[in-house]
Homo-oligomer: A and B are copies of this chain.
Amino acid sequence: MTALELMGRQAKIAARKINAESEKREKALNAMATALIENTDAILKANNEDLAAAKQNGMSEALQDRLRLTADRIKGMADGILAVNSYNDPIGKILDGRTLKNGLKIERITVPMGVIGIIYEARPNVTSDAAALCLKAGSACILRGGKEAFNSNNAITEVLRGAIKSAGLDENSVQLVQDTTRASATELMNLTEYLDVLIPRGGAGLIRAVVENSKVPVIETGAGNCHIYVDSDADIDMAKEIVFNAKTSRPSVCNAAEKLLIHKDIYEKALPIIAERLAEKNVELRGDERAVKLLDCIPATDDDWATEYNDYIMSVKVVDSIDEAIDHIDRYSTRHSEAIITKNLKSSDYFTKNVDSACVYVNASTRFTDGGEMGLGAEIGISTQKLHARGPMGLEQIVSYKYIIHGDGQVR
């Protein structure tokens, strides 16, 4: 039995216990939040080790920002756990039911997933978010973070496991894979006997690898090649501020905008204004022919349209119509978040109906695609597939259900 198979078996045993003892889950989550605060110094120390190594290895500033913890961010993690805990128990909820003519009583009731595997990259807050969500939702989790954040993740996990144990639950409800090589990720993808679902969180490469190779059912998350379309009827000032916010408020995250599509009737007036605003943060613009001509920026290549930069870079395309914008999005989007800026009702309806992405915005920044911002609580990722859950995967999205049918001898 490999180390991961052992983890899988332990997780399955823990999962049965979590499901059986719902009151202890609440207690455990409170203990987890308290323990994170109490162990801030130890966690920061571990995080500093990771950051020092990251600097040495030349990690980009944007990625370092994802890796970095502060006392405030740890407080935020603890608050996130408490927020998760404040929700109603998502397990045992009767979703619907009916009594059939033959007297059979059917209930559809939420049940835990069981064991959830999560493969993620350099964001250590995922460790506590994921553990809290899984535990509240009655599932055990096996976490496999990136090697860049290993010390941070390990410190957080140990703190959480101690808290879980102190609350009388099985500490194996939360486990961190100790091997951060590719081999452990590959093995997780094949752990069908123990894992009910596998969720990758990270860059496009990681997600593609998991989607293509996993035998465990996957929820595809995260990759965000997000578009903002500025319609001919847009309020230019609003467009400027939304594009600026969506691109620059935190470029390293998946809901940051990467592409600007702008209608031909407005681009000559609007584009210089938007570009000037983006220049305040030194955003590098790459344009199609018309944009390059107007702004004298770098030409965008075909690769640009498909790339999630996670950096202060944005590509710009002038389109002849809303349909051209939608077709472009259909071709290049990762189906995460897209926005239209318009004052025209017909345009907004047409865009929201025909853009096939998890979150479609009218006159707002794509940066709101986030469980907390959308009022759904902490999330385990943003699903970009159509199966199971789409958009933020909060507490109510990481459960399953079963039918319970009561009869008194019915046969068919």
Contact = CB atoms under 8 A, between A and B. Distances in A.
A411 B106 contact: no
Contacts of A402: 356-360, 390-391
B410 A368 contact: yes
A28 to B, nearest CB: 20
Interface in A339-391: 348, 352, 356-365, 367-369, 373-375, 385-388, 390-391
Given A360-B405, A363-B410, 7 more contacts: A238-B408, A241-B411, A246-B411, A362-B405, A367-B412, A387-B387, A388-B388
Interface string A243-257: 011100100000000
Interface of A: 98, 100, 104, 106, 108, 111, 113-114, 192, 196-197, 211-212, 215, 217-220, 235, 238, 241-242, 244-246, 249, 348, 352, 356-365, 367-369, 373-375, 385-388, 390-391, 400-412
Contacts of A217: 217-218, 220, 385-387
Q: Give the oligomeric copy count.
A: 2
B211 A362 contact: no
A290 B217 CA distance: 39
Contact of A362 (B192, B238, B407): B407
B403 A358 contact: yes
Contacts of A386: 111, 113-114, 196-197, 217, 400
Nearest to A335: B402
Contact of A409 (B220, B242, B408): B242
Nearest to A111: B356
A374 B106 contact: yes
A359 B108 CA distance: 9
A249 B412 contact: yes
A404 to B, nearest CB: 5
